[in-house]
Amino acid sequence: MFSTLHLIAIAFTAISVPVFCMLIIKQGESTVVRVLKTIAVVCVFFDPAYWVWEWKTFGSLDFSTTLPLYLCSLFWLVFPFAMFARSERIKQIALACVATVVLLAGILGFVFNVHLNKYPFFSFVPIRSLLYHYLMIFTSVLLWTSKYYKPKSGDQWRAFVPLGILFIPALILNAMYGYDYCYTAGGVGTPIESVSALMPKPIFLIVLYGALFLFNWLVFYRKISIKSQKSDIETDSGDCIETAQASYIKIARESYIESGMEDWQDELLETN
């Protein structure tokens, strides 16, 4: 990890992702959708490819590390729903998750790629992992830059729905076998292992995912929430003004009728 080749890969990702996104966006909306749908299909094959490699290499699967219960697994588990689900509610949940949670997981997984500590850079496991995380980052950035993902009020909560679902089997497997999916065992072998060792596991998980939610909200949704609140205030103010005007006209009409004036509307308009 952080070898010369790894640093070159990080730099290439930082430069190439926005460039490729701009080139695709220039081709039009149909090209953007076609690229996103292609990625939604391709990403599903990354984990099965690893399972085949592990089976051929070791003759078995290590269920403590092989199951798709990582934060990065959300990409291929959720993104197909974002592109092909018929329910708009499900699509919005999936898009919010991929545009934010998956983006953060992709960046962390690419930068702190623990596979590079075990295997040579140019070998199947690291290359597969780096390509997968590159695709995560690229897809999330394309969703934002192309405006295919249109954030809505409440998306900061929707983005964590798939993670909450993923967390259930991760907790069960941790309780039964001590597996570390979703960092439920403290992130063994990762940079956060030293942090988790400083506190009880439940507190660590609350701090970790609380910080992830707060960071996600601050980076992606804080301005959206503020705009939504301002819009609601403006709408309420407009409704109050319309109500006041209607009440004024009603009172004026009644008073004019009582005084026997038939042309109350003309008089009222002249007064205004």
Q: N- to C-terminal Cα distance for the chain?
A: 75
Q: Looking at residue 1, what is its pLDDT? A: 81
Tokens of 132: 């997968």
Residue 191 has a CB neighbour count (10 Å cut-off) of: 12
Q: Give me the numbers of helices (H) and strands (E) for the chain, helices first please.
A: 13, 0
SS3 150: coil
pTM: 0.81
Q: Looking at residue 190, what is its pLDDT? A: 84
> Residues of the chain whose pLDDT is less than 50?
233, 235, 262, 264, 268-269, 272
Contact between 156 and 216 (Cβ < 8 Å): yes
Residue 39's closest CA among 148, 115, 152?
Answer: 148
Tokens of 51: 């399972």
Q: Looking at residue 223, what is its pLDDT? A: 78
Cα Rg for the chain, rounded, in angstroms?
27
Q: Looking at residue 249, what is its pLDDT? A: 58
Residue 39 has a CB neighbour count (10 Å cut-off) of: 20
CA gap 127, 14 in Å, rounded:
17
